[in-house]
Amino acid sequence: MVLLDVNFSKSVPLKKQSHLLYILEGLRVNNMPMMALVHPVYDCLFRLAQSDALKNEEEVDCLVLQLHRIGDQLEKMNLQLMDELFNLLRDGFLLQEDLSSMGHLLLLEILEFRAGGWTLSETAQKYYYSEVTD
């Protein structure tokens, strides 16, 4: 029996925490992500959703990228934690005064992505990912 005890605090750099997020996607048993990693991965995501991390555009980008990759799987494993995470993200989008324009856009996109059942409508896809032409 292997016990996994991962406790992420503010003392662990966010970039190092985000590496664990890639692990969930790769480690599988019977084609399902390892359940032992669900809470440590949520811990990483919650850390990336804190107000100090949301000020950093790279951290927001990392958070959004990971939610695109594994958000649907994580939600199926623990809906309550995903709801709590997205409440934090919504509050960050609405209340965080020093969020960059790109940070706002990234958070809005991931909020819409989840609301759409982990997919974007064609219209939303064009809005977020079409190049602006003059």
Q: Render pLDDT for 4-25 as a digit per residue (tens, 0 to 9).
A: 334 444 444 545 445 555 555 5
Low-confidence ranges of the chain (pLDDT < 70): 1-34, 131-134
pTM score, whole prediction = 0.75
Instruction: Return the HEC string of the chain.
Output: CCCCCCCCCCCCCHHHHHHHHHHHHHCEECCEECHHHHHHHHHHHHHHCCHHHHCCHHHHHHHHHHHHHHHHHHHHHCHHHHHHHHHHHHHHHHHCCCCCHHHHHHHHHHHHHHHCCCCCCHHHHHHHHCCCCC
What is the residue-averaged pLDDT of the chain? 81
List pLDDT tens digits, range 68-77: 999 998 999 8
